[in-house]
Amino acid sequence: MRLVNWLERTAVGFLFGFILVDPAAADWRDDIGWTRLVTEYSGPPVTGAGVQVSVVEGSDNAGNYMPMNPGPLPPEFTGKTIVNGTGTHTGESPHSRQVSRAMFGNLTSIATGTSHVTVYSAGDWIDNRIGFASGGDPVPHNFRVQNHSWVYQPSVAVAENILKRVDYVAQRDQVTIVAGTANSGTLLRVLVHGYNLLIVGRPDGGHSKGLTSFYGTGRVRPDIVAPSPYPGPPFYTSHTTPIVSSIATLLHQAAAGTDAARSDTMRAIIMAGATKDPFPTWNRTTTRPLDTIYGVGQANIYNSYKIVEAGETNGSLIEPTSSIGNYGWDFVSSLSPSDAMHYDIVIPPGKEWRDVSLVLAWNINVEDSDPSPAVFNPVTTLANFDMRFYDSSGTFLGTLLDQSVATAGNVEHIFFNSLGPGRYTIRITTNMNYSFALAWSSTAIPEPLAGATLVLASTLLGVSYRSRRRPF
């Protein structure tokens, strides 16, 4: 199979829209927690320095996909090495320039320290980098983050072939792959139906959204939303997607050399850091981990950076003897169906945890059953993990307060607006020997005087908590 000039034809397009002016204000940086992070640390604690990233771009009508013309670099890209990985057209694509400015530009992005970027045309990337044209193995992706602000709608058979290759790359090379959903309409097949990626929408909810319809049905898309750095409306997912990629780039700098840099752990960290504050209608159920419009919520670099900074806290196969902090993460290389992993939260009297976000993530396993690099024959296996949350104040695992037990997908999520004093336990179980990542985020504050909501909750449940979910 081969795709010939498919990107220049009507079957494929950008997530259209670009604006050739600088942002008038930095409100979007406030929205993603960047201003708070910089203020708290008296400067940026991370800039993306040393993190190699990649941008895959749809070609314009002239075949261009690079973010600038040959010659001296414009101010937003000064000091950066931008490699033309495809090596054909060298002219500037205005769309590519706007995407790149948002992801790593000196004047627009938060990841200003990113200095080495490789850009591919989407056609070349599919045909030659992930091996669709030859049918062979995908080439190594020696990047930590890769951004995709383009869309493609092939047949289901072609899409599934591509998606398995992309999931394989994310797993094998441990690269965080970030892709946007379309700006309207139904879900497109590439890359939105992938497992081991982060799919990004817009905070206004105008993006395409819904449940996956093949390669594993019933998974909510998008996973997360982010604001645009460019004035609007209208807004475009082409511009919100690189915001999440820039957040991932900063986190990879902070996580370098640890299991936090794994593709599954990084997904959990970014998703656990997301905030629900802009979305009063955000909700989940015990069998639907994400909101059907906003996914896990709006990406927030402050929360996600604090998760990475807190470091790894190991779970326990037996009743824990210590508790986790209000930020943190854990990667478990293998959990058996006969075991369960536990994490205790202990909130002392007079304290409260607010916006408690727990995200469990794992990769779909894609293995190449053909040893020859000339033939890629993927075999997929998807584990099923469940996450339950107990009040253990009186007895270990005494009262089940909430659970995330979806049968579709590779993420579970529990969220509480507030947890009052007490002992709580997170319990993770699985149906097969497999690895997982858990990340959590919350704000620890002195507990306010008990209002009616907390009094009612403590009376009925013996614990002060509120959860944005439907009853189960």
Interval 418-458: pLDDT, tens: 999 999 999 999 999 999 999 999 999 985 544 433 333 33
Q: What is the pLDDT of residue 447?
A: 55
Q: Is the pLDDT assigned to residue 7 strictly greater than 60?
A: no
Instruction: Count the alpha carbons within 13 Å of 387 in the hemisphere toward its beta carbon.
Output: 25
Confidence category of residue 42, pLDDT binned at 50, 70, 90: very high
Confidence band (pLDDT; 50, 70, 90) for 405? very high
- For the record, the structure tokens of 293 come out as 């419009």
Contact 54, 121 (CB under 8 A): no
How much is the mean pLDDT over the chain?
91
Q: What is residue 467's predicted lDDT score, i.e. its pLDDT? A: 45
Cis peptide before 471 (omega within 30 of 0): no
The pLDDT of residue 446: 83
6-256 and 311-467 agree in CATH topology:
no
Give the integer Cα–Cα distance in Å for 118 and 102.
Answer: 15
267 alpha-carbon distance from chain centroid: 4
pLDDT number for residue 3:
35
d(C-alpha 172, C-alpha 157), whole Å: 23
SS3 337: coil
pLDDT of residue 462: 36
Largest Cα–Cα distance of the chain, in whole Å? 70
Residue 381 three-state SS: strand
Q: Which amino acid is at 262?
A: R
Residue 56 forms beta bridges with which residues? 120, 148
Class of the domain covering 6-256: alpha beta
pLDDT-derived band of residue 1, with 50, 70 and 90 as boundaries? Answer: very low
Band of pLDDT at residue 2, cut at 50, 70 and 90: very low
Higher pLDDT pick, 362 / 470: 362
Residue 198 and residue 244 in contact, taking contact as beta carbons nearer than 8 Å = yes
Report the 10 Å Cβ neighbour count for 186.
Answer: 12
- Sequence letter at residue 190: V
- Cα distance between residue 208 and residue 199, in whole Å: 11
Mean pLDDT computed over 348-376: 97
How many whole angstroms separate alpha carbon 365 and alpha carbon 376?
15
Residue pointed to by tokens 């829209």: 17
Please determine, for residue 246, whether its predicted confidence score (pLDDT) is greater than 50.
Answer: yes
Percent share of the chain, pLDDT over 90? 88
pLDDT surpasses 70 at 294: yes
Over residues 298-302, the mean pLDDT reads 98
Provide the CATH topology of domain 311-467. Answer: Jelly Rolls (2.60.120)
Which segment of 1-15, 219-233, 295-309, 404-418 scores lowest on mean pLDDT?
Answer: 1-15
251: left (phi over 0), alpha (psi -120 to 50) or beta: alpha
Stretch 128-135: mean pLDDT: 97
Enter the tokens of residue 401. 């307060």
Q: Are 273 and 302 in contact (CB under 8 A)?
A: yes
Q: What is the pLDDT of residues 86-110, one digit of tens each?
A: 999 999 999 999 999 999 999 999 9
Please, what sign has the CA dihedral across residues 228, 230, 236, 237? negative
Mean pLDDT of 122-134: 98
**Domain boundary assignment for the chain:** 6-256, 311-467
Confidence of residue 460 (pLDDT cuts 50, 70, 90): very low
d(CA 310, CA 300): 16
CA neighbor of 165 nearest in space, from 207, 134, 188, 144: 134
In degrees, rounded to 5, the angle at the alpha carbon of residue 273 between the alpha carbons of residues 268 and 275 is 130
Residues 344 and 322: beta-carbon distance below 8 Å: yes
Between the CA of residue 318 and those of 238, 253, 278, 331, 440, what are the distances in Å?
A: 46, 34, 38, 17, 20
